[in-house]
Structure 1
């Protein structure tokens, strides 16, 4: 991590770079793009990329559509609960 904060334009560029590296399955490059960021900038990049995910999961709904966002949140929470339940199930129940 560094102490030097990025400008808003630089943060935007970093978000696009993370998306491009992820699209090409280059996790080492994503690591390099994130590891040097100060904590606040890292949070900004992760939040921005997550917002894109919310938009995609909402089917491209208007970002101001709170009902669409609530449906995405409910879907994601349901997935998390299911994943947790599967991990907590005794091994002999898996199949």
Structure 2
């Protein structure tokens, strides 16, 4: 991790680089692209990648980005709730 922050253009480039490396299954390259970032830049890159994903989903489903953001958030919360319930097991098992 470094203390040097990236410019906005460099952060956007980093988002695309992580996306490309992840698409190609290059986990080690993703690690290298992220491990060197200061915390604030890491958060920016992660949020940027999430925004790219939401934008891609919006386009693929023909939705405006605001609608897509709402739907992705709903689906993500639903999946998280299902995963939590599966780990906890049935309530009457106690």
Q: Distance in 2 between matches of 1:60 and 1:19?
A: 22
Q: Distance in 2 between matches of 1:19 and 1:9?
A: 15
Unaligned stretches of 5+ residues in structure 2: none
TM-score, normalised by the number of residues in structure 1: 0.83
Q: Structure 1 residues 79, 57: CA separation in 2 closer, same or farther (over 3 Å shift)?
A: farther
Look up the SS of the partner of 1:4 in the other structure: coil
What is the match of residue 86 of structure 2? 86
- The one-character-per-residue Cα deviations of 1:37-80 (angstroms, maximum 9, x if unpaired) are 011110110000011222334435222x2x43222211110010
Q: Distance in 2 between matches of 1:4 and 1:10?
A: 12
Greater percentage in helix = 2
Count of residue pairs brought into register by the alignment: 89
What is the match of residue 55 of structure 2? 55
TM-score, normalised by the number of residues in structure 2: 0.83
Unaligned stretches of 5+ residues in structure 1: none
Conserved in 2, the CA contact under 8 Å of 1:55 and 1:61? no
